[in-house]
Amino acid sequence: MSNQEILDKLRDTIVTQNINGCAEAAKEALAAGLSAVESIENGLSVGMKIVGDKFEAAEIYLPQIMMSAKAMNAAMEVLTPELEKEQTGEGVGTAITYVQEGDIHDIGHRLVSTMLGANGFKIIDLGVDVANDKLMEEVAKNKGHKTILVGSALMTTSMLSQKDTIEMLKEEGLRDSVKVMFGGAPVSQSWIDEIGADATAENAADAARVALNLMK
């Protein structure tokens, strides 16, 4: 099977909610020499995008999305140890990673956290549905250290509270002590410019590159 066929298989097992098949396809990808990052970005994530589009078009419903998410998780169990092995840097700074309040979408967040960890960041993972107060507390604790706030939002509603995050950082006198990178499907560069964050990134590999640059 060619590499493209394996990537297509990863995509299709997500779309058809084939949990065991997805984990198997991840093993096949690694055995064929595909990297974990490539398998995620060019296989699994393509499938999740199709699932999202089908949901929007009312062709599928929540239970199917949940099964696709389970398939993604099954493949990630196979791929995560490889991502960690691909570790490159060390001691570049601390990344406080989280999903914005009201939002429980954590697949992308976990991928980004893993990639940053693999690139030498110390990870403080606050998980999902994180209130801005909690973020302020964590940033204050890390004041004086090289720190980046890495927030995900998958819904337009939760994305709006990223603006409050920036405002609160300013009010608390913490804005200059932390870099801020926001991401997730609805987040655009124009949103980042509008709210005064530092950067966004397309995917987990890009997030690691951008975060490393911001730490320089």
Binding residues for ligand HCB, rule: CB under 6 A, are: 45, 48-49, 51-52, 55-56, 62, 65-66, 69, 102-109, 111-112, 150-152, 154-157, 181-186, 200-201, 203-204, 207
Residue 1 or residue 206: which is nearer to ligand HCB going by CB?
Answer: 206
Min separation Cβ 101 and ligand HCB, Å: 10
Residue 21 or residue 183: which is nearer to ligand HCB going by CB?
Answer: 183
Min separation Cβ 165 and ligand HCB, Å: 12
Min separation Cβ 156 and ligand HCB, Å: 4
Residue 6 or residue 181: which is nearer to ligand HCB going by CB?
Answer: 181
Residue 1 or residue 66: which is nearer to ligand HCB going by CB?
Answer: 66
Measured from each CB, the residue nearest to ligand HCB is 108
Residue 2 or residue 94: which is nearer to ligand HCB going by CB?
Answer: 94
Residue 104 or residue 140: which is nearer to ligand HCB going by CB?
Answer: 104
**What separation in angstroms does the CA of 24 have from each of 37, 50, 81, 132?**
17, 20, 15, 39
Min separation Cβ 83 and ligand HCB, Å: 12
Min separation Cβ 192 and ligand HCB, Å: 10
Nearest-10 Cα torsion for 43, 128, 173, 211: -20
| Three-class secondary structure assignment of the chain | CCHHHHHHHHHHHHHCCCHHHHHHHHHHHHHCCCCHHHHHHHHHHHHHHHHHHHHHCCCCCHHHHHHHHHHHHHHHHHHHHHHHHCCCCCCCEEEEEEEECCCCCCHHHHHHHHHHHHCCEEEEECCCCECHHHHHHHHHHCCCCCEEEEEECCCHHHHHHHHHHHHHHHHCCCHHHCEEEEECCCCCHHHHHHHCCCECCCCHHHHHHHHHHHHC
Min separation Cβ 213 and ligand HCB, Å: 13
